[in-house]
Amino acid sequence: MIEQLHQRAVAIRQILRKHPKRGADLLMNFARRFAANPQVEDDVILYKVRLSSVLSTAEKQDVIDQMEQIVDAIVRDYNPDAVKAHIEKESALAQVIRRQLPPDDLVLTAKNIVKRYASSDFTLRLDHLELRLGQITGLVGENATGKTTLIRILAGDLATDSGTLQYPLFDPENKLDWPQLKEQIAYVPQELPRWHGALRDNLSYEAALHGIKGTENRKAVDYIVQRLGLALHLDKDWTELSGGYKLRFALAKALVWKAKLLIIDEPLAFLDVKTQLVVLNDLQNLAKSLRHPMAVIISSQHLHETESVADQMLFMRDGQLENLGKTIDLGAKRKENTFELDCPANYSELQQALENFPYFQIWNNGMQWIITTPLSASGSDLLQHLSVHGINVYYYRDLSRSVKTKFYEGNL
Amino acid sequence: MIPANDILGRRNEIKDCIAADNMDEAMRRLIDFIRDFFESMEDEVLLLSRDYHAVLKMERMRLEPIEQIERLKGHIANRVLATLKAALHQIEHS
């Protein structure tokens, strides 16, 4: 073991000199696993933070030297018993405070919902839907298929023609007292309503509307402002905020009173990629909070991003809602694999390259090639085969377990 | 995603965010972590977050030289790590 540790240390030292940031990552992992003193890992993290700042060559070399000394110290002081004792101590501490995951209480249930519009022949139909605490539900589908209609029904914004809608957590006796019920539902529509005054006052007002007053009100506002990173924008009004911050503020208004049901229509529509990730990450972490879990339903055209955070997926087509079940089970019963790729080859070149490859179909969606294969042919098999035949793939995605295949059903 | 009740996994995620120079995410996750496991430290963490945003404001408005901003950011990173350590020590001492 000591010999392996020495070899690893030599490798980390070399990488530190050539690629300091990469070396620091390796050293952090090395310290986490082998340092007898747990403070060493934190020291490495702080050196890595320093490396990310603007440094002169001499300062940078000084940081690298310090990290090399840490490598030496880890090897010199390595004591398997101390490392084991530290791991056991931390595990024991974690057990002391270990909390059960919160129960996934039923927040909303909808059965046999039908909604017709007199002005058109559109009809929305939903057989069965459940939303639970701690879960995110993704609602996707083509444009004008009824996503917003469904969202508005669940938010109590639109009446149904028939069917059952229940909110067991807020309304156990199923009285459907809508004014009272809607106070429990946080609804963020696609077109955010304009507000007046500064963010701080609006958040405080929203919390007060839900009975949070005095010190608790200030604390609730402070918490959500810090949590959603709104501190630098608190005194701004509507006209001074970007689309991303308007959405974050709308979320803050919903979260400041600890809503248990958040219904959010197309939150990603006008956000840049980085902000989309931040918003989705926030929703995921906040929904799964141990102390204040909530049920979240998001409608979106951003399929992959929504799938990446959703626990269950819904697909809407021509007003008919299809409940696809748990996201991790998507495609589990599929009969073929589906791959999406982009390459400079045309149809006949691609067909020729795949002559001896077991594919079912090649189809172009207008932008990329969609290739279906038997389950026995994997994505890496396909890429390797194309590479061997001189086709350079510069975009690839395995759709086999993605809701995106639903959009191609008529074509494949 | 690390289960919400995996305290050590969540602590390590925060450390990884700091190491990856993603202090915004580290701060958000720290606030969630403390709210879920160490409610009594919530005020302390909100204060830390306010200080962090004050540094960001200085940076945006160029109120201080870059070296000073980076020193302050390093100091915030140090305080986040110290908070994580203090949280676990709190269990030990109780």
DSSP class of residue A102? P
Chain A residues whose CB is inside 8 A of the B12 CB are: 32
Report the alpha-carbon distance of residue A211 to residue A190 in Å, rounded: 27
CA distances to A27, A42, A73 from A15, rounded to whole Å, are 10, 20, 17
Between chains, do A285 and B32 touch, taking CB under 8 Å as contact?
yes
Nearest to A226 among B5, B31, B81 (CB): B31
A255-292 pLDDT, tens per residue? 999 999 999 999 998 888 988 999 999 999 999 999 99
Q: Say if the Cβ atoms of A90 and B88 lie within 8 Å.
A: yes
Express each pLDDT in A139-181 by its tens digit: 999 888 899 999 999 999 999 999 999 999 999 998 989 988 9
Residue B73 burial (C-beta neighbours within 10 Å; 0-12, 13-18, 19+):
buried
CB A298 within 8 A of CB A332: no
**DSSP per residue over A238-304, as a string?**
GGG--HHHHHHHHHHHHHTTT-SEEEEESTTTT--HHHHHHHHHHHHHHHT-SSS--EEEEE-S-HH
**How close does chain A come to B60, measured CA to CA in Å?**
10
Helical residues (DSSP H) of A155-236, grouped into ranges:
178-182, 199-209, 214-227
Q: Which of B42, B50, B53, B85 to mutate to test the interface with A (most CBs of A within 10 A)?
A: B53
A229 interfacial to chain B (CB closer than 8 Å): yes
Tokens of A270: 């006008």
**Per-residue confidence (pLDDT) for residue A119, from 0 to 100:** 85
To 10 degrees, the CA torsion angle through A218, A221, A225, A228?
Answer: 150
Close Cβ partners of B86 (under 8 Å, ≥ 6 residues apart): B41
Q: Is A252 on the interface with B (CB under 8 A)?
A: no
CA distance B77 to chain A (A): 7
Indicate the pairing of strand A261-265 with strand A295-299.
parallel
Tokens 């229509």 sit at which residue? A265
3-state class percentages of chain A: helix first, strand second, coil last, to nearest 5: 45, 20, 35
Say yes or no for a CB contact (<8 Å) between B1 and A90: no
Mean pLDDT of the B38-56 span: 95
Query: Is the minimum CB–CB distance between A92 and chain B shorter than 8 Å?
Result: no
Indicate yes or no: CB of A49 within 8 angstroms of CB of B24: no
pLDDT > 80? residue A238: yes
| pLDDT at res. A271 | 87
B-chain CB neighbours of A282 within 8 Å are 28
Residues of chain A with pLDDT > 90, as a percent, come to 74
* A107 membership: H or E segment, kind and range: strand A106-116
Taking CB atoms and an 8 Å limit, are A232 and B60 in contact across chains?
Answer: yes
Contact B21 A52 (CB under 8 A): yes
pLDDT, tens digit (0-9, with 9 covering 90-100), for A205-215: 999 999 999 99
Q: Collect all residues from B whose CB is shorter than 8 A from any CB in A.
A: 1, 3-8, 12, 15, 18-19, 21, 24-25, 27-29, 31-32, 35-37, 39, 42, 46, 49-50, 53, 56-57, 60, 66-67, 70, 73-74, 77-78, 81, 85, 88, 91-92
**Cβ separation B53–A32 shorter than 8 A:** no
pLDDT at A4: 87
pLDDT of residue B90: 82
Predicted pLDDT of residue A319: 92
Are the Cβ atoms of B81 and A42 closer than 8 angstroms?
yes
| Residue A160: both structure tokens together | 């149904």
As a whole number, mean pLDDT of residues A385-410 equals 94
The C-alpha angle A183, A185, A188, rounded to 5 degrees, equals: 115
Q: What is the pTM of this model?
A: 0.89
